[in-house]
Amino acid sequence: MLKAAAHPSVHVCGLALEALPLLILPRNSLSEHLLPILQQKVVYPMHLVSDTAVQTMELENADTDFEEFNQFREDCVMDTLTKCYLNNPVFYLESCMIALERLCETSPTSPSSDIYQLEGVLFCLRAVSTEASKIALLVNAGPAAQAAAARAFTSRRNCSIDNIGEDAIRHNDILVRCVLALAKAPPISNPLVLSQMCQFIGKV
C-alpha cells in the first residue's frame, strides 16, 4: 500500500489514500512511514511550474494538470496528513520543522526545485496548523483547561494523551522555530510559496 502511495501517478496514489487513513491506528508506526511519502507527493511536479521547454518535454508523461493536482492535494492528501498528525503530532511537526529550517537556509542560487520543496513543507504545516496552534496555546493554560483540551484531543485520536503540558511545550517550541526560520529566510517572491506561508502564519 505504501508503494501505491508513492506511485508517480496521482490517480494511483489517490486510490491508496482512500484506504491508508483507515489503517493508521493509535500507537502504530504507519503514519511515520507514510509522512515522508506524502511530503514528497505534495510537491508540485516540475512540468506544472517550469518554463515552456521543460513543460513540452514532460507533458507527454503527465497524468494531471495544475488544477487537478491542487484538487488532489486538498481533497486526498490533506485528510491523510491530518490523520498522520493526530497519530503522532510531535513527530509530524518535527519532521516538517527540520525540512523547513534546511530549506530556509538555502542560498538564492539553489536549484529552483528547492522553492517548491519549501512550498510543499508549508502545505504540510498548513494542513495541521489550526490543530497544532490550539495545542501550543495550552502552554500557559491552567490544569483545568489542559485537562479539557486533552479530553477533546483524545476523542479525535482514539487514544489517551500522556502529558498534554509537555505536548503543548513541544508544539509551541516547534511552531516558534518554524516562524523564525521563515523570518530569517532569503527574500521569497514565488507566489505559491507566499500563499502557503501567509496561510500558515495566519493560523499560528
Q: What is the mean pLDDT of residues 75-87?
A: 93
pTM, rounded to two decimals: 0.89
Residue 85 CB neighbours (<10 A):
24
- Residue 74 pLDDT exceeds 70: yes
The whole-angstrom separation of Cα 11 and Cα 29 is 25
The whole-angstrom separation of Cα 96 and Cα 119 is 11
Mean pLDDT (the chain) is 87
The residue that leads in pLDDT, 59 or 117, is 117
C-alpha cell at 80: 491523510
- Residue 163 pLDDT exceeds 90: no
The whole-angstrom separation of Cα 204 and Cα 193 is 17
88-92, 107-111, 113-117, 161-165 — which is least confidently predicted?
107-111
Alpha-carbon distances, residue 153 vs 49, 80, 131, 179, 181 (angstroms)? 38, 17, 9, 24, 28
Q: What is the DSSP letter of 186?
A: P
Write down the pLDDT at residue 57: 47
Interval 98-123: pLDDT, tens: 999 999 987 555 667 789 999 999 99
Write down the pLDDT at residue 154: 72
